[in-house]
Amino acid sequence: MAYTTVELKNGNVIIELDAIANIAGITAMSCYGVVGMAYKSKTDEFASLLRREKLSKGISVEYKDDKLNIDLHIIVDYGVNINAICDSIKNRVTYQVNLITGIEVNNVDIYVDGFRLQDIE
């Protein structure tokens, strides 16, 4: 497991990168139009919808030069404005991760790996 250390006046705080991934995943899931996080195995070409307990599998977090880079793989509802959803996710994830961890977020990259079709009548 990978960790990052945040230096404070009175000591250090050590945060597991999976914890940061969970913050990002929960925040992304709360955005309108996001159905869930996606996971692609290296041998499979299809994205799988992840359960809430395994959100971090669809997210990668890298800590470099005292900043975070976050990649999110999502599945969205068919027919939603992807650009608007991605802008909302980037802003909310950046804000929440910074608010909760105190670590600056350098970049949030979003990959739309699939769509969920509603029953069309």
Chain segment 5-30, per-residue pLDDT in tens: 777 678 888 889 999 999 999 999 99
pLDDT tens per residue across all 121 residues of the chain: 677 777 767 888 888 999 999 999 999 999 999 988 887 654 454 455 545 545 667 899 999 998 999 999 999 999 999 999 999 999 999 999 999 999 999 999 999 988 888 755 5
Q: Residue 40 belongs to a domain with what CATH number?
A: 3.30.70.1350
pTM of the model: 0.81
d(CA 33, CA 48): 17
| Residue 12 within a domain | no
Q: Which residues contact 114 (CB under 8 A, 6 or more apart)?
A: 38, 47, 49, 75, 76
Query: What range defines the domain where residue 45 resides?
Result: 17-116
**Residue indicated by tokens 């079709």:** 117
| Residue 26 within a domain | yes
Domain count, the chain: 1
| Residue 56 within a domain | yes
Q: How far is C-alpha 58 from the geometric centre of its chain's CA atoms?
A: 7
| Residue 110 within a domain | yes
6-15: long-range contacts at Cβ-Cβ below 8 A with a sequence spacing of 24 or more?
Answer: 6/101, 6/102, 6/103, 15/101, 15/103
